[in-house]
Chain A
Amino acid sequence: MSTQFQRIDDFRWRIPREGGMRVPGLVYATASMIEDIRRDKSPQQVANVAHLPGIVGHSLAMPDVHWGYGFPIGGVAAFDEEQGVLSPGGVGYDINCGVRLLSCDLPVDELRPRLEALSVALYRAVPCGLGRGSRLSLSERELDRVMEQGAAWAVDRGHGEPDDLRRIEEGGRLVGADPGRVSTRARTRGRPQLGSLGSGNHFCELGQVAEIYDEAAAAAFGLRAGTLTLMIHSGSRGLGHQICEDALRRMLEASARYGIALPDRQLCAAPLRSPEAIDYLASMACAVNFAFANRQVMTAFAREALAQELGMSEAELGLRVVYDVCHNIAKWEEHEVEGERRRLCVHRKGATRAFGPGHPQVPEPYREVGQPVLVPGDMGRYSYVLAGTERAMKETFGSSCHGAGRRLSRAKAKRVAQGRPLFRELRERGVFVQADSKRTVAEEIPEAYKDVAEVVDVMDAAGIARKVAKLVPLAVVKG
């Protein structure tokens, strides 16, 4: 089926209402990106989401939109408190998959001869892939606390500093978590995995601040040109995957009972006020908190290993959290819609919150410049730090893009990578890669991804998120 696109301006495209769509779709992209987007099923997915009851404004797609399951990846949808629904497929299996960025004042030029050793130290310190589970051993009771307290649990246990918590979305703890609602299966999958990266597109990466676009914002974020950064991309591991799976099963039944017509079963949903939705949100918050704790624990492992390798104390290393954002989540937020303040449940699937300047939920040190938005690219090129804007608050429920988006399927990427000395190629580009599986590296080669620069340029030009800094990778740990 072909979806119609109406050009609004150079960076905005409307998918007009048609059939059972309750609102139009709105896609942020350039004309040439739209040609690519048309080739997969994501336009249909944007239209499918627009069918869900109580959707407000538009079914939104960020410039990194691509074919997911149910919701498109790069999709944002907000639902009315009274009329709206909750769709676990609008969050996805990897609940609170997200990105954390740390910065320090160490100039990369002085560290160059030691980068390879640092990459090995990082690989040893941060469990990744399938072979190596968590270095922690959690009791069932501790798992409850992780799910209730999130990153604060980790800090209490000595993994990191209390100050880290100030620079995490939701302070590293989403309220409303109820571990009593989490299944035994989810606990079984998650308990041995806290403090581990996982595989696929997850990574832990040392980088360098390569370019600054906005001096004031970069200074507020603690980013200085030429200095070392650390980025961690991971989520809630098996705990979140199972919580989503459990919820989908309940929601499939519920959708029929509540008479919600579904263009795709993966979109199954229940009214926000229903017991099913309340139950999901309380268990989803457990996975959200687990993921915040997960990134916090890995931060502590990384700090310890890097400091040791460099022969300095962690205080001398000075790796401080810039920010930690979720890109798979559903949250209650207040937004202004046509001049009226409304409480909405915002689903972001492969999209990042991007609150503008002055918003009370933006940490105090960043309040004048807007919330940091972390947008990783592929492992060979670059990543970006953006800042949320007032316009994002008006148009996208304070949301922005989350990454580059895949261009090649995993199978195609492997064919492209066949027989190539990938590790050497990346090393020649100045990136030391350490990986649990060569296959993961083949599936994740830079060419498998779109150019993230084009994605962030759309957000910047559309006024949704402002470019602050560009980071280039130096050492990458993959699962």
Chain B
Amino acid sequence: MSGRGHRPLEHTADLAVELWAPDEASLLVEGARALVELLTDGAELHGSAERPVELEALDPEDRLVRWLGEVLFLASTEGFLVTDAALELAGSSLRGTMRGEPGATARLRSEIKAVTYHDLQLTRGPEGYRARVVFDV
């Protein structure tokens, strides 16, 4: 597998994805891309707008879930579809800027209810970071 990416995993009732990246900040961005890809069926998007983001979490796993929760919230309420982000991580908090296509509700193809903590995994190995996240659909 190359340096960073994501792929779907089999899960009977819900959707799960595996993420990998050389560092944790890019892993979070990869997670956002995986989520937006599921929401839009992989539509091509134009990240023409920016938005600030800031959140506090309990630990890195929780940070991953909260970050994806943020991405999902913006997509489902405003149609802001994240394409990239510049994130700074400190302790278990996160701040930075998201880039995305604004007002793109028409590009949404499927509904995801939530990002779950179930079977959540975030590990650091010799080749970088890997994570597994289950979405409730």
Contacts and interface: CB of A to CB of B under 8 A. Distances in A.
B66 interface: yes
A130 B110 contact: yes
B73 A266 contact: no
A40 B61 CA distance: 24
Contacts of A70: 116-118
Interface string A250-281: 00110000000000111010000000000000
Contacts of A248: 117
Contact of A130 (B10, B62, B108, B134): B108
Contact of A67 (B11, B76, B110): B11
Contacts, number: 95
Contacts of B116: 69-70, 93, 266
Contacts of B119: 69, 264, 266
B1 interface: no
B137 A130 contact: no
Contact of B10 (A68, A93, A188, A411): A411
B137 A200 contact: yes
Nearest to A192: B77
Interface in B13-39: 13-15
A189 B76 contact: yes
A57 interface: no
A406 B118 contact: no
A266 B137 CA distance: 16
B36 to A, nearest CB: 14
Nearest to B105: A130
A244 B72 CA distance: 14
A274 B8 CA distance: 38
A130 to B, nearest CB: 5
B109 A92 contact: no
Contact of B111 (A67, A89, A200): A200
Contacts of A68: 13-14, 118
Interface of A: 40, 66-70, 73, 89, 92-94, 130-131, 185, 188-189, 198-200, 238, 241-242, 244-245, 248-249, 252-253, 264-266, 268, 406-412, 437, 439-440, 479
Interface of B: 8, 10-15, 41, 58, 61-62, 66, 69, 73, 76-77, 105-106, 108-111, 113-120, 134, 136-137
Given A437-B110, A439-B109, 18 more contacts: A66-B13, A69-B118, A70-B118, A89-B118, A93-B114, A93-B116, A94-B113, A130-B105, A185-B73, A189-B76, A241-B114, A245-B115, A248-B117, A252-B62, A265-B118, A266-B116, A410-B15, A412-B10
In the A-B complex, list the 6 residue pairs whose CB atoms are closest, starting with the nearest: A69-B118, A266-B118, A265-B117, A69-B116, A93-B114, A199-B111
